[in-house]
Structure 1
């Protein structure tokens, strides 16, 4: 480096260009040199560029956030019901409803506060201090005081404090997974790279928030604060609006339509009664209140909350932790899952899968770090000791190694480089452990791996005190050192073309390559030096290593495909590796893998087409991931996105369901997500989708149960007004039915288990309305049946000379008993319930009916309830008539299911 701190200022390049510039050019542009910046210049630049921190986003105040929680159609419905009960003087009901409104608002307020903490988590990733060279002196300063042009020193264990252009490196490796998705630490060098190099391939740069895991380096600060790569992600995240879930959108539309319908029918009924029938306005007002009370689905918010909460509990038992309640249902409507590769679809445990020796190719069984597995040739299991080159290569991999393999509580773990750990596991599978190697072949000296040399060498003596030098590294580098190869029958001249061909073939399968070689000789000067690594080596083997797919992930991907859900892999890893893993998982088979650079060149229209067709995306940056999610959503897809790094946070927040990794995920990813996987396993997502579908089914069943109940009551009131009949149900009695019995009964449907074949269905269309044409028909049919039973029984009793109190009591009980029977019908939308499983398969349904029976007996026969609701005692015969009204609903509903099933079966047969 040269001192150019007094050079005239130059035009500052764009941040994307720093990796393309030479060290000299950057020193000129930033007016810095070997001694760093003068302290006075650093203070001036701090005033110019501002502190090296991420600015907090603009946020709404707590009061505004709390008030906005009430801007929700469900809460409007509940508040409307509270107003009605207050008008009727039922202050206890009013208090309960208002309490429910406040609790819902408080829960939403707390959840929104948690969502904003995603930005805090990103800011927390920034280093708090930095070692800087100013005026030629090393000093430690607050990282917020760094400025462009500062000369920063980083070493193993440090978090990079700003975006640096590296200028002096000693074996530097940086963990960038949180930013780029790269599964292994990245080796750095100080040479400029191409302008179009993806973020993960800019080896001359170290980015703010990443972690130095090995070596040390010196770098020039090129960007600070919001201009850094992590700062851009922070700005991107702050600008993304979270989407509401399909269910909430549907319920919002449903609630608006229902509210307008109730208001319209109530106004029409009021006008009809006062203007046409001549009723007094005050009397008609109370009738309209009764009508509105019968039509408003007071139980819907409660049942939604309970059903979603039960889904949360069920998912938690499957290692899926839900952070936002509506995400439970949103999972059930997912049409596309965009998954990260490393650790989610794969084990995040590097494993040797292939050993190439001269004349033989060995497949290695077993996955992960457990030293269990066989070696085979074309499916035939072999023993390593029968193949000299293989045995010596395995020995070389164990001895030329700085990692450690250990077992804790039955789990095998690697300390050190995962690639070196894979070689230790291979040794364990063949009986040559690190302990045995240390005892029989002690290490006397070594040359550690350095990125500029791309190899590691160790010096040993065997049990006979013979000297050996083992070496491992990049195949092209090791090939240059070798003059021979070890064949089955001894050493032979090196066949360079064979090894290059095998290296190409192995790499095409997505495997990372290492070469192993040896020299039976002592170091020239007693200690191992680079002079001992120039030539004269015997090539032993090429090693193919990969992070293998999880077995359970393979099954889960297949289950998703059967369920009509597309699975896409979006990873920061290399295209060849991603394509190979995708093929093993049946993702993107026979299709190309698209890189982030190709995505960047596409306009939005082209990306929308590609996003649907292609399933594997490699070397994807945060912007690419976000654009892919948006493109899929623009195509009408409901997207679940998995991720673990800060680079995934914007896409996680934008997705319909953001899924973060609990074990290796960053706090930024977790806070931006809707769900956290405690086991980082893709199979857990598939299980959560199944649970989400069951939740949606149960919500539909509840609505299908609730609306006919409310509809039947409303039709009773409307018929009485139209035909100038005595009102069969008083407003108080309507509220008793809705608030006490309907909600109690309907709650049991939240506990319905998932129906058989739920994951064999296609995902429901995102725009599908909550009530289909079939649902409207079912609601109308059952509403008419309930009205016929209650109103018919009421008029029959009045014509027979029964008193008005008794007739009304029978009408109320007819509606409630009809609900009890219809609750059994509602367990299955189309399947019959007239079976042991149908009648007893959900014990909560039986418990709800058992709880409702004493409530109705108390309503009918206790003096207190009679005084409040105007009810009266019923005889056994009158109870029998009430029971018949309920059986009518049950039998007709089951007959309707039978007819629809037969009709659909006939239609399918005709199509076939």
Structure 2
């Protein structure tokens, strides 16, 4: 409804009092969003993770029990994992804030009869906003004055073609995307003309706001790995707790030392509880996010990293995602049917009048992407005596009944003929040129031929005029048809390769666009997509959910799709057990971005709403970066499996050596300090080796991973247990042999402990690759491995040579021949496991 004050005095606008009242009633013109994730808030979110809370709780418990060394080690590594997460996610928030600032529009409003520039967030309902070429519309509004206004609403509709606007105060509210409507929408771009509009909706009451509000009803996909990890930790905790209690009772009953029994029970519990798993998972996700950021992809939710390797369907928008969202002249065609495709070189002589006149029919300083394309194709031939911008005499704009525009130029000296250049819809130019039926039919056939290639087709005509009196309309000129111009929104570089690689990796690419079916089909063919079957928005509207699920299973292109229909398509694919990744940059994409398993927003031209709803943000808007992210996601998961398998493997000898003395009545070998040292120092440090491993061969030639498949499959657990048993047998043999030969308890402990550490190192080499032999894996570059070997060597030296540390670990001195035995045990473990690995390889790679 038009405000009463405005109705009386349409040029004055609102008063400051009315502005203040409406700001108080409606709030600022911005979308409500969750509070900024400060580092403190991120820490609280991390601490709420049950696994990390368990790790911190364990450290506090050991501190209360009077074991500060163990407590400090546990707490230090918990702090380390928190710091990594906070640094990565804080960096993400800073980048998002910077992107948000870049896209915040300002507005020119009329208040109290004066024009003033204000922040877009201060616009209120009823404000009069002044719009001109290049302005971003700050709020939903209705044009009350308009001169040849066109807007780009692709962020709301996904359609790259600008729409015409007319002034009106009585028509009903309309949705984005239609021609000859008075409504302009927040976030859209004025690419031609000027006007004054009355604001009808701000903030959440705008079209953008309604889409943003719908996001609150959608839940993001929960991280599957964390759920699996919680179940594993819970099972290990229950089993380890039962074994620990039995061990305490057994030790206390048989030996009488209940304090030692309690410490032994704690050691056994620690050996069986994989409390380092949350650290490893956090480190892998944080480092994975860092590696993916190097490919210009920002990770907003770590769960997306684990899901990337499982993606089976990639739903992509067309405009700005597959294409560059900028028009270029794809083909020039003369009336006789002769065509030419510009490639940046010199235009043939016969096509120059068509290109020159197309430029003259455009604005001298163009903002419209199509007019920029006309200027670009005529670049280099504008020094042939054609008029400059100062010679523009008159402009005839588009009319609803005549979709053509003309510019009148002074051609030379005073009194000479004026040049009239016109461009517009082929049928409108045909009417201006008074073509006969045969010529019109030929023009229509050529137009349809270009349109079938996905081009936006305009016709260009030329006329000459003498005298100073001008016709009232363009119909008064004697136009001559010069030809047709086909314009296209070109594919982004690398899209064809990216689509092909997705296909090789078993990922189906589905285009969902608001553009017309013909254009969508042409772009799909160019990108290498199957466009034999196209489902339109009208057809989709008549489908129930079951029919849509069946249709979505085999359809590659959806055209003329509304925002709510995008969400239905994503939901249907998910219901069909597909793992869906969705790309987009517009507000219209936000609900489907949030509903998808992996939402991927464009960071350069994308909207705040799209970025906030997404899991990943492409900082350079490069579609090919998605493939790089998928490759890295698969690599992260592969290496995570190697790391987890390694962790399970080393728990077998650690638990075995903790239980062995209790079962056979031998001296206690491992106390809590030893196990904390192994699990929270050696283990996480060695995990960095797996994180840094290069990808397996053929990583993008295998099908997506089944997301329902457990991280710890039966084959992985079996292989881990085999590795652990081999190391346990070797280290237990060394311990028993040392005691049998009368070696003092402390020396036997230090000998066995060093052998265990070297056995753990041997498992690093064995697990570096599931598919390659240790020789092939050894040739791979891995800087982290060199550092780990150095760190392990230094740490062993410190525990054996520094008296204070030696006493704390209850170690005795070792000799050169003792160390040779431990090295030999490590090498023997590698040889045995490399012989056994081929029997497990096929099962591990599935």
Do both proteins adopt the same fold according to a TM-score greater than 0.5, normalized to the shorter chain?
yes
> Matched residues in 2 for 1:809 and 1:675: separation?
49
> Matched residues in 1 for 2:651 and 2:582: separation?
39
Q: CA separation of 1:739/1:101 partners in 2, compared to 1, >3 Å: closer, same or farther? A: closer
> Matched residues in 2 for 1:117 and 1:842: separation?
30
Deviations 1:350-371 (A, max 9, x none): 12222332332424153xxxx3
Query: What secondary structure sits across from 1:883 in the alignment?
Result: helix
How much has 1:770 moved relative to structure 2?
0.8
1:767 to 687, 708, 714: 708
> Matched residues in 1 for 2:56 and 2:648: separation?
19
Q: CA separation of 1:436/1:267 partners in 2, compared to 1, >3 Å: closer, same or farther? A: farther
**Does structure 1 residue 511 correspond to structure 2 residue 455?**
yes
Q: Greater shift after overlay, 459-468 or 213-222? A: 459-468
**Does structure 1 residue 896 correspond to structure 2 residue 836?**
yes
Deviations 1:368-405 (A, max 9, x none): xxx34x8xxxxxxxx722xx4x342223223323256x
Q: CA separation of 1:216/1:349 partners in 2, compared to 1, >3 Å: closer, same or farther? A: closer
Deviations 1:43-64 (A, max 9, x none): 9995996456457467699988
Q: What does 1:603-682 align with in structure 2 at a 5 Å threshold?
A: 603-682=544-623
Q: CA separation of 1:783/1:527 partners in 2, compared to 1, >3 Å: closer, same or farther? A: farther
Which residue number in structure 2 is paired with residue 15 of structure 1?
none
Q: CA separation of 1:74/1:418 partners in 2, compared to 1, >3 Å: closer, same or farther? A: same
Query: What secondary structure sits across from 2:490 in the alignment?
Result: coil
| C-alpha contact 2:590 2:610 (8 A) present in aligned 1 | yes
Which residue number in structure 2 is paired with residue 479 of structure 1?
430
Query: What secondary structure sits across from 2:640 in the alignment?
Result: helix
Query: What secondary structure sits across from 2:393 in the alignment?
Result: strand
Query: What secondary structure sits across from 1:641 in the alignment?
Result: strand
| C-alpha contact 1:579 1:593 (8 A) present in aligned 2 | no
Q: CA separation of 1:704/1:47 partners in 2, compared to 1, >3 Å: closer, same or farther? A: closer
Q: CA separation of 1:699/1:685 partners in 2, compared to 1, >3 Å: closer, same or farther? A: same
Which residue number in structure 2 is paired with residue 351 of structure 1?
328
Q: CA separation of 1:156/1:65 partners in 2, compared to 1, >3 Å: closer, same or farther? A: same
Which residue number in structure 1 is paired with residue 515 of structure 2?
573
Query: What secondary structure sits across from 2:221 in the alignment?
Result: coil
Which residue number in structure 1 is paired with residue 641 of structure 2?
700
How much has 1:478 moved relative to structure 2?
0.5
Query: What secondary structure sits across from 1:342 in the alignment?
Result: helix
> Matched residues in 2 for 1:184 and 1:816: separation?
66
> Matched residues in 1 for 2:267 and 2:15: separation?
79
Which residue number in structure 1 is paired with residue 403 of structure 2?
454
> Matched residues in 2 for 1:215 and 1:144: separation?
24
How much has 1:279 moved relative to structure 2?
5.5
Which residue number in structure 1 is paired with residue 786 of structure 2?
846
How much has 1:853 moved relative to structure 2?
2.0
Deviations 1:637-666 (A, max 9, x none): 333322223333343344333322232223
How much has 1:776 moved relative to structure 2?
0.9
| C-alpha contact 1:30 1:149 (8 A) present in aligned 2 | no
Query: What secondary structure sits across from 2:322 in the alignment?
Result: coil
> Matched residues in 1 for 2:553 and 2:368: separation?
37
**Does structure 1 residue 791 correspond to structure 2 residue 732?**
yes
Which residue number in structure 2 is paired with residue 488 of structure 1?
none
1:742 to 683, 690, 694: 683
How much has 1:42 moved relative to structure 2?
6.7
| C-alpha contact 1:470 1:517 (8 A) present in aligned 2 | yes
| C-alpha contact 1:46 1:145 (8 A) present in aligned 2 | no
Deviations 1:604-658 (A, max 9, x none): 4444444443232334444333343343333333333222233333433443333
Deviations 1:201-241 (A, max 9, x none): 26331123434343233445544443321221231234443
Query: What secondary structure sits across from 1:495 in the alignment?
Result: helix
> Matched residues in 2 for 1:826 and 1:448: separation?
74
> Matched residues in 2 for 1:56 and 1:85: separation?
45
How much has 1:686 moved relative to structure 2?
0.7
How much has 1:258 moved relative to structure 2?
3.2
> Matched residues in 2 for 1:455 and 1:813: separation?
85
> Matched residues in 2 for 1:86 and 1:215: separation?
72
> Matched residues in 1 for 2:682 and 2:305: separation?
27
Which residue number in structure 2 is paired with residue 12 of structure 1?
none
| C-alpha contact 1:166 1:189 (8 A) present in aligned 2 | yes
How much has 1:816 moved relative to structure 2?
0.8
2:531 to 571, 585, 589: 589
Q: Greater shift after overlay, 72-81 or 770-779? A: 72-81
> Matched residues in 2 for 1:598 and 1:249: separation?
39
Which residue number in structure 2 is paired with residue 489 of structure 1?
none
> Matched residues in 2 for 1:767 and 1:748: separation?
27
Which residue number in structure 1 is paired with residue 372 of structure 2?
421
Which residue number in structure 1 is paired with residue 223 of structure 2?
245
Query: What secondary structure sits across from 1:785 in the alignment?
Result: helix
How much has 1:796 moved relative to structure 2?
1.6
| C-alpha contact 2:69 2:673 (8 A) present in aligned 1 | no
> Matched residues in 1 for 2:752 and 2:842: separation?
34
Q: CA separation of 1:812/1:120 partners in 2, compared to 1, >3 Å: closer, same or farther? A: closer
How much has 1:477 moved relative to structure 2?
0.7
> Matched residues in 2 for 1:248 and 1:363: separation?
58
Which residue number in structure 2 is paired with residue 470 of structure 1?
421
Alignment coverage as a number of residue pairs = 837
> Matched residues in 1 for 2:285 and 2:122: separation?
47
Which residue number in structure 2 is paired with residue 436 of structure 1?
384
**Does structure 1 residue 539 correspond to structure 2 residue 481?**
yes
Q: CA separation of 1:117/1:50 partners in 2, compared to 1, >3 Å: closer, same or farther? A: farther
Q: What does 1:106-117 align with in structure 2 at a 5 Å threshold?
A: 111=89
> Matched residues in 2 for 1:303 and 1:574: separation?
48
Q: CA separation of 1:803/1:325 partners in 2, compared to 1, >3 Å: closer, same or farther? A: same
> Matched residues in 2 for 1:98 and 1:161: separation?
50
Q: CA separation of 1:193/1:482 partners in 2, compared to 1, >3 Å: closer, same or farther? A: farther
Deviations 1:443-495 (A, max 9, x none): 5534254353432223456689665432111111111111359xxxxxxx961
Query: What secondary structure sits across from 2:434 in the alignment?
Result: strand
How much has 1:178 moved relative to structure 2?
3.1
> Matched residues in 1 for 2:695 and 2:844: separation?
22
Q: CA separation of 1:265/1:546 partners in 2, compared to 1, >3 Å: closer, same or farther? A: farther
Q: Which runs of 5+ in 1 are unaligned?
A: 1-25, 375-382, 405-414, 486-492
Which residue number in structure 2 is paired with residue 495 of structure 1?
439
How much has 1:705 moved relative to structure 2?
1.4
Which residue number in structure 2 is paired with residue 293 of structure 1?
270
> Matched residues in 1 for 2:747 and 2:584: separation?
64
Q: Greater shift after overlay, 446-455 or 137-146? A: 137-146
Q: Which runs of 5+ in 2 are unaligned?
A: none
Deviations 1:45-92 (A, max 9, x none): 959964564574676999888645322133034224414643664424
Which residue number in structure 1 is paired with residue 749 of structure 2?
808
Q: What does 1:402-417 align with in structure 2 at a 5 Å threshold?
A: 402=363, 416-417=367-368
| C-alpha contact 1:591 1:614 (8 A) present in aligned 2 | yes
> Matched residues in 2 for 1:775 and 1:32: separation?
73
How much has 1:159 moved relative to structure 2?
4.6
**What CA RMSD, in Å, does the superposition of the two structures yield over aligned residues?**
4.0
| C-alpha contact 1:737 1:812 (8 A) present in aligned 2 | no
Query: What secondary structure sits across from 1:251 in the alignment?
Result: helix
Query: What secondary structure sits across from 2:700 in the alignment?
Result: helix
How much has 1:565 moved relative to structure 2?
1.3
Which residue number in structure 2 is paired with residue 321 of structure 1?
298
> Matched residues in 2 for 1:122 and 1:720: separation?
62
Query: What secondary structure sits across from 2:48 in the alignment?
Result: coil
Deviations 1:571-620 (A, max 9, x none): 3333322221112112243121432x544554444444444432323344
Query: What secondary structure sits across from 2:329 in the alignment?
Result: strand
Which residue number in structure 1 is paired with residue 192 of structure 2?
214
Q: What does 1:383-394 align with in structure 2 at a 5 Å threshold?
A: 384-385=348-349, 388=350, 390-394=351-355
How much has 1:797 moved relative to structure 2?
1.5
Which residue number in structure 2 is paired with residue 186 of structure 1?
163
1:727 to 668, 680, 685: 668
Query: What secondary structure sits across from 1:834 in the alignment?
Result: helix
> Matched residues in 2 for 1:80 and 1:748: separation?
27
